[in-house]
Amino acid sequence: MANNKKEGIFSKLARWSTRTFLGQKYEQKWFGNKELGSGEITYKNGVPDDSELIVSPAKQVFQRFIARKFAVFAVLVVVFMFILVFVGPYFMPKYYDAFTESTQKDLPPTMSFMAVPKELKNDINMIDCYGAFSVGLSNAGKVYIWGVTKIGATGFDVKHIPEEVKNANIKFVAAGQDHCVAIDENGKFYGWGSNRFGQYAVTDEILKNDTLIPVPDEVLNGELDVNHIKQVSAGFQATAILMDDGTLYIWGNTQAYANLEKFVGKTNIEEVDFTLNYVVALDKKRDAVYTGYKKSDLYKYIRSSADPSERAVPASDYLGGRKIEHITATLNNICLLLDDGSLAFVGDFGRDNVDVPAAAKNEKFVSVVGGSYHYTGLTEEGNVYTFAGNHYNQDRVPKNLSSKNVTKVFAGAYQSYAVNDNDDLVGKWGLKGYLFGTDGSGANIAERVIAGGKVTMTVGAVAVIIEIIIGVSLGVLSGYFGGWVDMLIMRVCEVVASVPLIPFMLILSSLLAQSAMTTNQKLYMLMFIMGVLGWTGFARITRAQILLARESEYVTAAQSMGVKETRIAFKHILPNVFSVILVNITLAFAGSMGTETTLSYLGFGVIYPQPSWGNMLSRASNATAAINFWWQWLFTSAILILTVVCINTIGDTLRDVMDPKSSNDK
C-alpha cells in the first residue's frame, strides 16, 4: 500500500512538471487524459501542434528547442562537460598542477603497463621494470617485453629484441629507462634500446666522452661466470652487474648518478640499487647504506616507518647491532630489510605517501622490492603489502592474495606482481596506463584535461559575466536615455572596440606575468581584463534592442502611468530584450573560451604548471612535435572543439527558436 502511495506522489510530480515546462499537450501525451477534458492531439514534426493553443513565449521556445535533436544533444554534452570539469576534480584528490615525473615523460595512450604475455604467465623467473616498459624472463630463458616500448621520439623500440637474444637461453635480464640488458647461460652479454650514453655497447664517441663510464671489457667479452652472478640491475642510463664474491661491474652516465664513479671496481658489495640521483649499495659490513661518500650525511639516517614526520636517527643507533639483510630503492628513498624481519627506511618521502600497514608491522618480512615510489613486501605469513608512494594507487593489493601461496613479489615503476611457488602469476596491481597518455613533464593528460577544463571554463564564464554586467547596464542606459548619455557611452564603446583585443591582452598578460601576484590572482586579473575589453558587443546589442522596445506601446503605457524611468528601463524593457542577450551570452562564452585558449597557447594567459585547454595545446606548434606526440594535443583539442561546437549550437538554436519570424519546420 505504501508503495502505491509513493508512486502516486512521483507521478503527480512528473505530471506537474511536464505541465509546467512542456505544456498541456505533452502532459496528455505522456500521462493520459485523466481530468482535463478530452480532444484529439495532432502532431506536427513530433511536436504537438499548438497553433490553436495559447502558450507563454518561454514555453513555446522551450518546446521548439527540445524538438531539435542536435540542440538537445549539445545541451547534454555541455552539461556533461560542466559536470566533468567542475565535479571531476573532486574525484582526483591526488592531482596537483606541478606534478612532474621524469620516468613517465611523453608516453602515448596505453593500458598495457601490466599486460604480461600469456606465455610468461605460468613460467615466471623474474620481472623487472624501471620506466614505461617491463621486461620478463621465463624459466625457459625467454625474454618478454610489454608496456610502452617506443622510447620517446628517438626511434628506438625495445620491443625489437635482437634475434640472438631470442635464440639464447637467458639467465638474467634487467630494464632501465630506455635500454635492456641480458646475460645468457654462457655469460654472454646482450643489450638493446638506446645506447646514447653507452648503456650496453662501446663506441669511439662514448670513449671520447669523459662523463660516460664505458661497459667493462669483462662484461663485453662474456668472461663473467653466470653461476656466480648475483644481481643485474639497470637504472636511468646506467647498469650494474654484481657477482656473489662482491665484485661490482657498473657503467653508464655519471651525470645521471652523482656517485657512479665511486662504485667502479668495488669488490665488497652485497647488493646494489639506484635512486633518482645516486647509486646505493650494501657492503659486506651490512651496517649502513653504502654510497661511496666518506663524510656525507647522505642516506645515513634511518627511521622505522615510511612516515616522514617520524624523526630519523643515525644508522648505528637505530640498528643497535642488527644487520641489514637486504636493500631496495625507489627514486627518492631506500627500504632496508633487517635480519629480524623488520623494515627500516632511509631518505625523503614525497606527497601521496602511505605508511606500512599496522598489521604488517607485527609480521616478519622475507622480501621487499621497490618500484619508482612504492615498495611491495612479502611476509613470512604469505601476506603481501604495498606502501610508500601512492600517487597512482599502487597500494591496492588484491584481497585474496594471502590464500594464493605467494613466494615471490616483483615491483617496478608503478606496478607490482605476485608469483606463487609454481611460478604462476597470481596477482598484479598498480598503474595500468594512461587513457590520454602523458605530457612532456610526465603528468597524466586525462587528469590535466579535467583540471584545465575547469580553468578554461571558469575564465570564460567569469569573463562573460563581467562583460554582461558592464555591457548590459551601459547598453540599457544608452538606449533608454539617448541624447548625450547615448553619445558618450557609444563613443567609449567605439574606442574600446577599436583596441585590438589579442595584442593588447598579450601586453597586459606579460605585465601580469612580471608582477608578484599569486597564480590565482593572475587568473582573476585575466578574467577581469577579458571582461573589461569585451563588453562592447553586449552594449551595442542591448542598445539596439532597447531602441526598438522604447517605441513600443507597453513602454508608452508605463510612462503614462508615471512609472519611474529606471524602473521602466530595467523592469519593463530589459526582460523583453533578454532573449537576444541570452543568445549572445552563449556565443560570447564560446568566444571568450577561444580567446583564453589562444592566449594560453601563445604562452600568455594561463601559464604552466596551471593547466588550461589552451596551454596544454602548446605542443601543437610545430609539425614534428605534433606528429610525434599526437596524443598531447589531439584529445585536448577534440574535447575543446566539441565543447565549443555544442555551446555555439545552443546559441544558434536559441536564436532560431526565439525568432518569431522563423517557423517550426525549419
What is the binding site for other proteins (CB under 8 A)? 491, 494-495, 497-500, 502-504, 506-508, 510-511, 514, 590, 594, 597-598, 601-604, 614, 617, 620-624, 626-627, 633, 637, 640-641, 644-645, 647-649, 652, 661, 666
Least distance from other proteins to the Cβ atom of residue 334, Å: 44
Within 8 A by CB and 6+ apart from 110, the residues are: 147, 148, 433, 434, 437
Phi, psi for residue 614 in degrees, rounded to 5: -75, -55
CA distance 568 to 585: 23
Least distance from other proteins to the Cβ atom of residue 60, Å: 20
Q: Which lies closer to other proteins via its Cβ, residue 410 or residue 604?
A: 604
Q: Which lies closer to other proteins via its Cβ, residue 357 or residue 594?
A: 594
Least distance from other proteins to the Cβ atom of residue 464, Å: 16
Q: Which lies closer to other proteins via its Cβ, residue 220 or residue 547?
A: 547
How far is the CA of 467 from the CAs of 488, 500, 652, in angstroms? 18, 17, 20
The continuous run of DSSP H or E covering 449 comes out as helix 445-481
The per-residue DSSP string of 234-245 comes to E-SSEEEEEETT
The per-residue DSSP string of 537-555 comes to HHHHHHHHHHHHHHTSHHH
Q: Which lies closer to other proteins via its Cβ, residue 140 or residue 511?
A: 511
Least distance from other proteins to the Cβ atom of residue 97, Å: 22
Q: Which lies closer to other proteins via its Cβ, residue 255 or residue 621?
A: 621
Least distance from other proteins to the Cβ atom of residue 78, Å: 12
Least distance from other proteins to the Cβ atom of residue 589, Å: 12
Burial per residue of 488-525, b for 16 or more beta-carbon CB atoms within 10 angstroms, e otherwise: ebbeebeebbeeebeeebbebbeebeeeeeeeeebbeb
Q: Which lies closer to other proteins via its Cβ, residue 229 or residue 497?
A: 497
β-partners of residue 283 are 269
Q: Cell 615523460, residue?
A: 105
Q: Which lies closer to other proteins via its Cβ, residue 55 or residue 461?
A: 461
Least distance from other proteins to the Cβ atom of residue 37, Å: 36
Within 8 A by CB and 6+ apart from 250, the residues are: 213, 238, 239, 240, 241, 260, 263, 264, 266, 272, 279
The gap between the terminal CA atoms of the chain, to the nearest Å, is 49
How far is the CA of 139 from the CAs of 123, 457, 462, in angstroms? 6, 55, 62
Q: Which lies closer to other proteins via its Cβ, residue 287 or residue 656?
A: 656
Q: Which lies closer to other proteins via its Cβ, residue 274 or residue 601?
A: 601
Least distance from other proteins to the Cβ atom of residue 594, Å: 6
Strand order of the β-sheet with 425-430 is 406-412, 415-420, 425-430
Least distance from other proteins to the Cβ atom of residue 237, Å: 30
